[in-house]
Amino acid sequence: MTTYLLHKIVKSNPEILPELEEDIIQIAKSLNIDKNKINSLALSFSEAISNSMKHGNNYNEEKHVEIDVYIENNKLYVSLKDEGKGFDISSVPDPTKPENILKESGRGIHIMKNFLDDLIYNFTPNGTQVILVINLK
Protein backbone atom coordinates (compact mmCIF):
# COMPACT_ATOMS: atom_id res chain seq x y z
CA MET A 1 0.00 0.00 0.00
CA THR A 2 1.26 3.45 -0.90
CA THR A 3 0.60 6.44 1.34
CA TYR A 4 1.04 9.80 -0.38
CA LEU A 5 2.27 12.62 1.86
CA LEU A 6 3.01 15.46 -0.57
CA HIS A 7 2.50 16.36 -4.20
CA LYS A 8 3.78 19.72 -5.38
CA ILE A 9 4.72 21.23 -8.72
CA VAL A 10 7.08 24.19 -8.40
CA LYS A 11 8.78 26.66 -10.72
CA SER A 12 12.55 26.40 -11.10
CA ASN A 13 13.13 29.30 -8.74
CA PRO A 14 15.93 28.81 -6.18
CA GLU A 15 14.32 31.37 -3.85
CA ILE A 16 11.74 28.76 -2.81
CA LEU A 17 14.35 26.16 -1.79
CA PRO A 18 14.20 26.92 1.96
CA GLU A 19 10.40 26.48 1.97
CA LEU A 20 10.65 23.15 0.12
CA GLU A 21 13.42 21.91 2.42
CA GLU A 22 11.25 22.77 5.43
CA ASP A 23 8.35 20.78 3.93
CA ILE A 24 10.57 17.68 3.72
CA ILE A 25 11.96 18.15 7.23
CA GLN A 26 8.46 18.53 8.69
CA ILE A 27 7.27 15.36 6.93
CA ALA A 28 10.29 13.43 8.23
CA LYS A 29 9.73 14.73 11.77
CA SER A 30 6.05 13.76 11.63
CA LEU A 31 7.17 10.20 10.84
CA ASN A 32 9.52 10.17 13.85
CA ILE A 33 12.52 9.52 11.66
CA ASP A 34 15.85 9.53 13.48
CA LYS A 35 17.46 12.99 13.62
CA ASN A 36 20.57 11.82 11.73
CA LYS A 37 18.42 10.41 8.94
CA ILE A 38 16.43 13.64 8.82
CA ASN A 39 19.67 15.59 8.38
CA SER A 40 20.83 13.19 5.66
CA LEU A 41 17.49 13.43 3.90
CA ALA A 42 17.42 17.23 4.15
CA LEU A 43 20.93 17.58 2.72
CA SER A 44 20.18 15.09 -0.06
CA PHE A 45 16.88 16.77 -0.91
CA SER A 46 18.60 20.17 -1.06
CA GLU A 47 21.18 18.78 -3.46
CA ALA A 48 18.60 16.98 -5.61
CA ILE A 49 16.16 19.90 -5.90
CA SER A 50 19.02 22.30 -6.65
CA ASN A 51 20.28 19.97 -9.38
CA SER A 52 16.79 19.65 -10.85
CA MET A 53 16.35 23.40 -11.04
CA LYS A 54 19.89 24.22 -12.16
CA HIS A 55 21.06 21.36 -14.35
CA GLY A 56 17.68 19.97 -15.39
CA ASN A 57 15.72 23.14 -16.01
CA ASN A 58 18.50 25.78 -16.27
CA TYR A 59 16.61 27.92 -13.73
CA ASN A 60 13.96 28.50 -16.41
CA GLU A 61 10.85 29.42 -14.42
CA GLU A 62 8.71 28.24 -17.34
CA LYS A 63 9.92 24.75 -16.44
CA HIS A 64 8.81 22.95 -13.32
CA VAL A 65 9.94 20.34 -10.85
CA GLU A 66 7.34 17.86 -9.69
CA ILE A 67 7.81 16.67 -6.11
CA ASP A 68 6.13 13.59 -4.67
CA VAL A 69 6.68 12.21 -1.19
CA TYR A 70 5.20 8.86 -0.29
CA ILE A 71 5.63 5.78 1.87
CA GLU A 72 5.68 2.28 0.44
CA ASN A 73 6.93 -0.96 2.03
CA ASN A 74 8.35 0.81 5.11
CA LYS A 75 10.37 3.21 2.98
CA LEU A 76 10.05 6.94 2.49
CA TYR A 77 10.39 8.03 -1.12
CA VAL A 78 11.04 11.59 -2.24
CA SER A 79 10.69 11.87 -6.00
CA LEU A 80 11.77 14.92 -7.99
CA LYS A 81 11.15 15.16 -11.71
CA ASP A 82 12.48 18.00 -13.83
CA GLU A 83 12.06 18.75 -17.52
CA GLY A 84 15.70 18.27 -18.45
CA LYS A 85 17.34 15.99 -20.99
CA GLY A 86 19.19 13.98 -18.37
CA PHE A 87 22.83 13.02 -18.23
CA ASP A 88 25.08 9.98 -18.37
CA ILE A 89 25.46 9.02 -14.72
CA SER A 90 28.51 6.87 -15.53
CA SER A 91 30.32 9.96 -16.82
CA VAL A 92 30.12 11.78 -13.48
CA PRO A 93 33.69 11.83 -12.09
CA ASP A 94 34.41 10.18 -8.74
CA PRO A 95 34.99 13.10 -6.35
CA THR A 96 37.16 10.95 -4.08
CA LYS A 97 39.86 10.46 -6.72
CA PRO A 98 42.91 12.70 -6.27
CA GLU A 99 42.42 14.53 -9.57
CA ASN A 100 38.89 15.55 -8.50
CA ILE A 101 39.40 16.40 -4.82
CA LEU A 102 39.90 20.13 -5.37
CA LYS A 103 37.10 20.59 -7.91
CA GLU A 104 34.38 22.95 -6.74
CA SER A 105 31.50 20.79 -8.00
CA GLY A 106 30.65 17.16 -8.64
CA ARG A 107 30.12 15.87 -5.12
CA GLY A 108 26.33 15.90 -4.96
CA ILE A 109 25.57 12.43 -6.29
CA HIS A 110 28.36 10.94 -4.18
CA ILE A 111 27.01 12.63 -1.04
CA MET A 112 23.44 11.51 -1.74
CA LYS A 113 24.51 7.90 -2.37
CA ASN A 114 26.29 7.85 0.98
CA PHE A 115 23.54 9.56 2.98
CA LEU A 116 20.51 7.69 1.62
CA ASP A 117 19.46 4.06 1.71
CA ASP A 118 18.96 4.22 -2.04
CA LEU A 119 19.20 6.73 -4.87
CA ILE A 120 17.38 6.01 -8.13
CA TYR A 121 17.56 7.87 -11.43
CA ASN A 122 15.01 7.48 -14.21
CA PHE A 123 15.70 9.20 -17.52
CA THR A 124 12.62 9.73 -19.70
CA PRO A 125 11.87 11.74 -22.84
CA ASN A 126 9.91 14.17 -20.60
CA GLY A 127 12.59 14.77 -17.99
CA THR A 128 14.83 13.31 -15.34
CA GLN A 129 13.46 11.78 -12.17
CA VAL A 130 15.57 11.24 -9.07
CA ILE A 131 14.17 9.28 -6.15
CA LEU A 132 15.62 9.56 -2.66
CA VAL A 133 14.90 6.55 -0.43
CA ILE A 134 15.08 6.29 3.36
CA ASN A 135 14.28 3.05 5.20
CA LEU A 136 11.77 3.66 7.97
CA LYS A 137 12.55 0.45 9.88
Per-residue b/e over 83-104, b at no fewer than 16 CB within 10 Å?
Answer: bbebeeeeeeeeeeeeeeeeee
For residue 83, give its domain range.
Answer: 2-135
For 36-89, write each residue's pLDDT tens digit: 999 999 999 999 999 999 999 999 999 999 999 999 999 999 999 999 987 766
Q: CA 59 → CA 13, 44, 45, 83, distances in Å?
A: 6, 19, 17, 11
For 1-37, write each residue's pLDDT tens digit: 999 999 999 999 999 999 999 999 999 999 999 999 9
For 120-135, write each residue's pLDDT tens digit: 999 999 999 999 999 9
pLDDT at 100: 60
Report the CATH number at residue 101. 3.30.565.10
Our count of domains for the chain comes to 1
Helices (DSSP H) in the chain: which residue ranges? Answer: 17-30, 35-51, 108-115
